[in-house]
């Protein structure tokens, strides 16, 4: 009787669960398809390789967190293996006796051999998961019921699999595959099931069959509505993610007169890539752990903003999918809402979140798009920025200095200008800091001295140079940024320099990664890279090496935005310096607090980021901190002043340290 009904029962349960699953996932896919933006799939071989490495080989979850990563890898691989058996169980439930053995008993044997190990691996991973959530409880981890529930689900799934196998052994004592149950056989013996009656064995098998099946089907029902949606979305998100560290923000086409919205105000405007990002997040919190805003008490957490955006998007899912009253969908930034303007303005665009995300989410993109909306559509931004915007409009620098005086810093250095020396080998793009800021002018002077020492044929743009656009762009004023960019592009294209040397990582990054979209593709180098070559080729003789211990600070825009961690370190080492590295370095280097135009905004909430960073740097008790960015130099110097350590510790640019090592400083 039971065996007659069972296929129908299994079919009914499966039909119910699968229909619900497909209905839910279809809604999610439809929501994503309703999002603006086209799909361009380029560089397929590279993407496939990355997919294999990060998804199948699981390298991205083990990066920075090997133990958690191993636990995840065991669960992931285990599931891949066990899912085959689960499908087999479903088929067998409908067509009694149809198993892998029907195709090949040997294959089946080897499969259960592997799956016995896989299940114990999953249980091990789950056990660690419980330990982490119940005992370690890291702050950055969203530790809700959702996560614990899924662990219980998974554990039950594995235990029921062993239960099923253990009762199958006495049920069919002569089955070929029994000798392959490397773990289930001793387990069965341990529980004294070897001599079990066939009716007990049958009852046990069926009981665990149904526990296992209901867990699997429960999973299907549960996943689309939970953070465990990442089981479906993380893999495609990784496949479509950005290849390499270089990133340029989306360029707004201001010539397009049909544009009515600048930046992103509400969830209908999120492009599909961002929607997939939201689906892919499982709230692991690795981003929040690294975020300078989150760790200093700001309202921004990259994990939370992604979660809040997802909640907002899903709350409008029906309206968006059915193309209802889209105009009635409110903006996601609300003064009293989860995403307040303070959340949006707290970001330093340091990209620690994006680099630490195992599934390739770009947390900064919606923040910048939101700033674009706030600034351009609503003219709502921190008051300090108005002066910055006006200065950029009128003087082409964020600071109030006459544009005329841009080349004054080098009047006595005999630096040529491109207008009088068109064929110069190297265009030294000084930047606003090097041109106007008293501290950074000294760095610019050191660079000029080093270039002259190496007999480099270089020139600067002088008055023709304008801010590269970084602060305006990151502050959301895309329109202003593009005015600056376009004027610079025209100037650069007039001179067609072979190499552009930038001493500010912000200039370097924008010129290198963002200018190509505006028609200026040049070989752009940061001074750490350029000077390293000159030292390596012997063009800068170092006759006064020091053996001082120095702490080095990675800048975000040279490091995470461009992947350059080695050149400045190599340069310091060639100057004889002993590097005393801090914990948060390279990809985990902590921002100084000035990126994302935060340099020009007041920091009134929580602890100041520069103080957090300065404390870490000075804990090494070195007399010198080395930096490669004028903003970092300013911020850390301010941090030292705040701690009254300005007489004990000095911040120097790597160029200044190198100049000292030449003995001709």
Partner 1 sequence: MKIFVCIKQVPDTETRIKIASDGNRLDLAGAKWIMCPYDEFAVEEAIRFKEKNSDATVTVISAGPERVKEALRTALAMGCDNALQVALPENADSFMTAKALAKSIAAEGEAHIVFTGKQAIDDDAAQVTQAMAEFLDMPAVSVVLRAEYGANQIQAEREIEGGSIEKYEAPMPCVIAAQKGMNEPRYASLPNIMKAKKKVIKLVSLADIGVTADEIKISYSGFTLPPERAGCKMLEGDVPTQSKELVRLLREEAKVI
Taking the least distance from each CB to partner 1, the nearer of 174 and 255 is: 255
Q: Are 36 and 264 in contact (CB under 8 A)?
A: no
CB of 380 to partner 1, least distance (A): 9
Taking the least distance from each CB to partner 1, the nearer of 15 and 400 is: 400
Q: Are 309 and 276 in contact (CB under 8 A)?
A: no
Taking the least distance from each CB to partner 1, the nearer of 30 and 490 is: 490
Backbone φ and ψ for 528, nearest 5 degrees, come out as -65, -35
- Count Cβ atoms below 10 Å from residue 66 Cβ, excluding itself: 11
Binding region for partner 1 (CB under 8 A) out of 31-39, 397-405, 485-493, 532-540 = 397-405
CA distance 375 to 333: 13
**Is residue 378 part of the contact set for partner 1 (CB under 8 A)?**
yes
Backbone φ and ψ for 653, nearest 5 degrees, come out as -80, 150
**Is residue 258 part of the contact set for partner 1 (CB under 8 A)?**
no
Which one among 308, 417, 479, 650 touches partner 1, defined by CB under 8 A? 479
Q: Are 392 and 480 in contact (CB under 8 A)?
A: yes
CA distance 665 to 660: 5
CB of 646 to partner 1, least distance (A): 19
Taking the least distance from each CB to partner 1, the nearer of 60 and 373 is: 373
CA distance 535 to 568: 12
Binding region for partner 1 (CB under 8 A) out of 308-316, 371-379, 595-603, 614-622 = 371-379
**Is residue 436 part of the contact set for partner 1 (CB under 8 A)?**
no
Taking the least distance from each CB to partner 1, the nearer of 39 and 379 is: 379
Which one among 395, 555, 587, 622 touches partner 1, defined by CB under 8 A? 395
Q: What is the 3-state secondary structure (H, E, C) of 155-186?
A: HHHHHHHHHHHHHHHHHCCCCHHHHHCCCHHH
User: Using the 8-state DSSP alphabet, how is residue 191 labeled?
Assistant: T
Taking the least distance from each CB to partner 1, the nearer of 230 and 372 is: 372
Q: Are 402 and 462 in contact (CB under 8 A)?
A: no
Which one among 3, 135, 328, 383 touches partner 1, defined by CB under 8 A? 383
In the Cβ-directed half-sphere of 662, how many Cα atoms lie within 13 Å? 23
CB of 256 to partner 1, least distance (A): 11
Binding mask 261-300 for partner 1 (x = CB under 8 A): -x--------------------------------------
Taking the least distance from each CB to partner 1, the nearer of 480 and 611 is: 480
Strand partners, 625: 551, 651
Which one among 317, 405, 499, 546 touches partner 1, defined by CB under 8 A? 405
Binding region for partner 1 (CB under 8 A) out of 125-133, 318-326, 370-378, 621-629 = 370-378
Binding region for partner 1 (CB under 8 A) out of 187-195, 322-330, 384-392, 509-517 = 384-392
CA distance 20 to 278: 21
| Strand (E) or helix (H) holding 564 | none
Backbone φ and ψ for 523, nearest 5 degrees, come out as -80, 110
Q: Are 656 and 443 in contact (CB under 8 A)?
A: yes
**Is residue 345 part of the contact set for partner 1 (CB under 8 A)?**
no
Q: What is the 3-state secondary structure (H, E, C) of 343-409?
A: HHHCCCCCCHHHHHCCCCCCCHHHHHHHHHHHHHHCCCCCCHHHHHHHHHHHHCCCCCCCHHHCCHH
**Is residue 412 part of the contact set for partner 1 (CB under 8 A)?**
no
Binding region for partner 1 (CB under 8 A) out of 48-56, 130-138, 304-312, 385-393 = 385-393
CB of 400 to partner 1, least distance (A): 6
Taking the least distance from each CB to partner 1, the nearer of 63 and 463 is: 463
| Strand (E) or helix (H) holding 209 | helix 198-222
**Is residue 600 part of the contact set for partner 1 (CB under 8 A)?**
no
**Is residue 253 part of the contact set for partner 1 (CB under 8 A)?**
no
Which positions ≥6 away from 241 have C-beta within 8 Å? 50, 359, 360, 362
Q: How many residues bind partner 1 (CB under 8 A)?
A: 21
Residues that bind partner 1 (CB under 8 A): 260, 262, 375-379, 381, 383, 386, 389-390, 394-395, 400-405, 479
């Amino acid at each position: 009787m039971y065996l007659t009904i069972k296929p129908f029962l299994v079919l009914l349960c499966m039909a119910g669960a699968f229909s619900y699953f497909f209905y839910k996932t279809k809604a999610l896919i439809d929501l994503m398809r309703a999002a603006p933006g086209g799909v361009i799939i380029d560089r397929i071989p590279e993407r496939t390789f990355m997919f294999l490495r990060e998804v199948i080989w699981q390298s991205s979850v083990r990066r920075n967190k090997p133990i958690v990563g191993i636990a995840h890898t065991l669960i992931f691989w285990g599931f891949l293996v066990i899912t085959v058996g689960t499908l087999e169980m479903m088929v067998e439930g409908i067509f009694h006796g149809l198993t892998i053995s029907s195709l090949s008993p040997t294959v089946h044997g080897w499969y259960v051999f592997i799956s016995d190990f896989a299940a114990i691996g999953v249980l091990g991973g789950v056990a660690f998961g419980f330990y982490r959530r119940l005992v370690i409880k890291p702050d950055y981890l969203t530790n809700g019921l959702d996560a614990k529930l899924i662990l219980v689900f998974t554990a039950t799934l594995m235990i029921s699999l062993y239960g099923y196998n253990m009762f199958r052994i006495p049920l069919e004592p002569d089955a070929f595959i029994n000798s392959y149950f490397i773990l289930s056989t001793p387990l069965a013996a341990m529980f004294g099931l070897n001599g079990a009656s066939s009716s007990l064995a049958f009852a046990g098998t069926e009981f665990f069959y149904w526990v296992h099946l209901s867990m699997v089907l429960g999973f299907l029902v549960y996943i689309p509505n939970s953070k465990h949606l990442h089981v479906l979305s993380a893999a495609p998100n990784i496949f479509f993610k950005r290849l390499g560290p270089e990133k340029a923000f989306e360029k707004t086409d201001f010539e397009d007169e049909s544009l009515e919205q600048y930046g992103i105000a509400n969830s209908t405007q999120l492009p599909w890539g961002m929607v997939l990002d939201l689906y892919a997040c499982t709230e692991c919190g690795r981003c929040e752990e690294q975020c300078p805003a989150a760790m200093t008490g700001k309202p921004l957490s990259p994990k939370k903003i992604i979660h809040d955006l997802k909640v907002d998007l899903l709350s409008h899912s029906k309206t968006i999918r059915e193309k209802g009253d889209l105009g009635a969908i409110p903006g996601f930034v609300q003064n009293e809402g989860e995403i307040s303007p303070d959340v949006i303005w707290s970001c330093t665009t340091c990209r620690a979140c994006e680099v630490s995300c195992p599934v390739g989410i770009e947390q900064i993109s919606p923040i910048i798009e939101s700033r674009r909306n706030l600034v351009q559509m609503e003219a709502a931004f921190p008051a300090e920025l108005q002066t910055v915007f006006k200065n950029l409009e009128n003087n082409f620098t964020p600071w109030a200095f006459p544009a005329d005086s841009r080349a004054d810093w080098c009047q006595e250095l005999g630096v040529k200008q491109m207008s009088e020396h068109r064929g110069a080998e190297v265009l030294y793009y000084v930047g606003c800091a090097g041109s106007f800021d008293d501290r950074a002018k000294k760095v610019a002077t050191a660079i000029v001295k080093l270039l002259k020492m190496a007999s480099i044929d270089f020139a600067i743009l002088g008055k023709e140079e304008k801010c590269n656009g970084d602060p305006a762009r990151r502050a959301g004023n895309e329109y202003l940024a593009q005015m600056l960019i376009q004027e610079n592009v025209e100037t650069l294209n007039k001179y067609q320099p072979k190499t552009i040397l930038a001493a500010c990582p912000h200039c370097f990054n924008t010129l290198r990664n963002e200018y190509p979209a505006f028609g200026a593709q040049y070989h752009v180098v940061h001074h750490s890279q350029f000077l390293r070559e000159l030292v390596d080729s012997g063009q800068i003789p170092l006759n006064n090496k020091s053996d001082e211990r120095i702490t080095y600070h990675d800048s975000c825009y040279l490091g995470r935005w461009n992947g350059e961690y080695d050149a400045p370190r190599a340069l310091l080492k060639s100057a004889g310096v002993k590097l005393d590295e801090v914990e948060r370095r390279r990809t985990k280097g902590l921002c100084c607090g000035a990126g994302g135009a935060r340099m020009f905004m007041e920091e009134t909430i929580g602890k100041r980021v520069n103080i957090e960073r300065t404390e870490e740097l000075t804990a090494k008790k070195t007399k010198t901190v080395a930096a490669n960015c004028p903003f970092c130099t300013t911020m850390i110097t301010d941090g030292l002043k705040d701690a009254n350590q300005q007489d004990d510790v000095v911040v120097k640019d790597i160029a200044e340290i190198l100049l000292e090592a030449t003995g001709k400083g």
